[in-house]
Amino acid sequence: MESDQFSVRFWGVRGSIPCPGERYAVYGGNTPCLEVRCGGKVLVFDAGSGIHPLGASLNGDAVKDLHLYFTHCHYDHICGLPFFGPLFCEDASVTIVSGHHQNGMTTEQMVRSFMQAPFFPVGPEVFSAQLAFDDFAPGDTLTPGEGIAVRTTALNHPNGCIGYRIEYGGRAICYVSDTEHEAAGPDKNIVELIAGADVVIYDASYTADEYEQCQGYGHSTWEEGAKLCDLADAGQYVIFHHCPHHDDGFMDRMARQAAAARPGTLVAREGLTLSV
């Protein structure tokens, strides 16, 4: 592995609920999970259903040390955690990190609350990896490895959410999901976070027309994401957190419209890898 490698791979791109079946075969039906490689360091963002195949891949690569960051703990972003392969490897070290809680709950308390009756049959005690938990406040900068900075900000989403900017070797990848834009104007937190970034992954669950019926759900549109990227002089815009009602045909049409509006724009799909 090259020491200057900086890439993001998409293992889950769907929002709200996994969507199996032929209608979702092209873009994928797994819920959010990203793998970011910074040289030899692996960072994972969110533990939706896409983290299950990621775990098999990491075990195959013999990755033994990684950080897992949550944007927030709504089910679509954490449902795959109990099925993440590295957590069952005795020689693996996994640090689980979050900073979205608005009620004083810690990351460890969140995980234990999720993995308990009546919602789950066993607790985190079944994990055999060396497990650690860490907490931060929105706005903190985290340093999971040498030369890596993970900057954070609060997003506009029910129960709280965190946006991340991963910086490595003078480059930046931003992960901004889930968030809802406001009529008052661009979210200054997001504009500052994504300023000059090479890649911006943004919650574009809806079209502008659909959003009229979905206000208050905590999600945005691809049109608003394009505006933010332009305003922040950011590079490649990647549409993410696809609505479960949007099948492959719908996403194809959105991809054409978005690329015409902002050349270079991509619609995230499972298996897509972007090297910065």
DSSP 186-210: --HHHHHHHTT-SEEEEE--B-HHH
Give CA–CA dist 114/117, Å, rounded: 9
Look at residue 208 and tell me if it is in a domain: yes
Beta strands in 130-268 (DSSP E): 130-135, 141-142, 148-154, 162-168, 171-176, 199-203, 236-240, 266-267
Look at residue 81 and tell me if it is in a domain: yes
Domain containing 163: what range? Answer: 6-275
Task: State pLDDT tens for residues 21-37.
Answer: 999 999 999 999 999 99
Task: State pLDDT tens for residues 180-209.
Answer: 998 888 999 999 999 999 999 999 999 999
Partners of residue 113 on adjacent β-strands: none
Mean pLDDT of 127-156: 97
Of the ranges 30-44, 121-135, 203-217, 245-259, which one carries the lowest mean pLDDT score? 203-217
- For 258, the enclosing helix (H) or strand (E) is helix 248-261
Give CA–CA dist 226/54, Å, rounded: 29
161: domain CATH number is: 3.60.15.10
Backbone angles phi, psi at 56, to 5 degrees: -65, -40
What does the pLDDT read at residue 134? 97
Look at residue 1 and tell me if it is in a domain: no
Look at residue 82 and tell me if it is in a domain: yes
What does the pLDDT read at residue 197? 98
What does the pLDDT read at residue 1? 42
Which DSSP state fits 156? S
What does the pLDDT read at residue 101? 86
Tally of domains within the chain:
1
Mean pLDDT of 113-122: 96
Task: Indicate if the pLDDT at residue 107 is higher than 70.
Answer: yes
Look at residue 257 and tell me if it is in a domain: yes
CA distances from 95 to 8, 14, 249, 266 (A): 19, 24, 38, 31
Look at residue 100 and tell me if it is in a domain: yes
